[in-house]
Amino acid sequence: QRIIGIMGALPEEINGVVNLLQHKEEYKIGKRTYYTGTINNQKAVVVFSRIGKVASAATVSTLILKFNITELIFTGVAGGISPHLKIGDIVIGTDLVQHDMDASPLFPQFEIPLIGKSIFKSDSKLIENVKNAVQHIFENEYLHQVISAEDLKKFNIHSPKLYTGLIASGDLFFKDQLQKDHLISHFPETQCVEMEGAAVAQVCYEFGIPFVIIRTISDDADQNSVVDFTEFTVKVSNIYSIEIVKNIIK
């Protein structure tokens, strides 16, 4: 029997999904609240981890060991790195790297020591499912029905698009071009940055749990990122998470 773990970093990214749960029960473990229930008759466990690699790794471990999830969907926001990305676009992280891992010269920079990998891959079946499911969100100006005209204008969201590719994670909030340039010099193919995905990916890999990381662009990871991130997260990230999860679990 499938039990889907659904995770975000912040309450603003996940509360809407908690509200989708039927037969909801809550469990407090390790300073986090896990909500169990069903969405469209599918068993699910929903939780926000708080920001960062440690918080998210601990949370996904609990989902796996205490709640016996069989797959993991992570949804949240990210800072855009690739120049074609705009606020409101969605990125499926097919590949995940921890950009702040450096145990050199003991191990190559970015390699997870003793795991022998620097890149973790989202599950190809889940990626296909998500790709098909979220297409719906981009059709017929669908988002314009669920996001207020005021917010669409404020964030300059016109016809958001879906992308796939590399997501870089680390315990760093990107707030200037130098940080971006540094990352791009190592990983020119990076789509976006966030602070949990590759940590969650590592734990899922270690436990053999298929996962997919889905991110909505909230800011351009530049000097405006704090303001854009804060406003986008408060105003629209929940709407995206709800629509993404609803369309995946149909």
Q: Which residues bind ligand ADE (CB under 6 A)?
A: 77-79, 173-174, 193-195, 218-219, 221, 225, 229
Residue numbers annotated as active site: 13, 219
Q: How far is the CB of 222 from ligand ADE (least distance, A)?
A: 8
- The CA angle 234-17-61, to the nearest 5 degrees, is 100
Nearest approach in angstroms of CB 6 to ligand ADE is: 18
Closest CB to ligand ADE among residues 78, 203:
78
Nearest-approach distance from CB 103 to ligand ADE, in angstroms: 22
Rounded to a whole number of angstroms, the minimum distance from the CB of residue 68 to ligand ADE is: 29
φ, ψ dihedrals at 43, nearest 5°: -65, 135
Taking alpha carbons only, the member of 72, 165, 169, 160 closest to residue 118 is 169
**Residue 239 backbone phi and psi in degrees, to 5:** -60, -45
Cβ proximity to ligand ADE: between 39 and 76 the closer is: 76
In DSSP notation, 33-64 reads EEEEEEETTEEEEEEE--SSHHHHHHHHHHHH
Q: Which has the closest alpha carbon to 18: 50, 54, 56, 44?
A: 44
Residue 85 contacts residue 217 (beta carbons within 8 Å): yes
What one-letter code names the amino acid at 230? T
Name the residue nearer to ligand ADE (CB basis): 27 or 173.
173
DSSP, res 151:
H
State which residue, 199 or 221, has the beta carbon closest to ligand ADE. Answer: 221
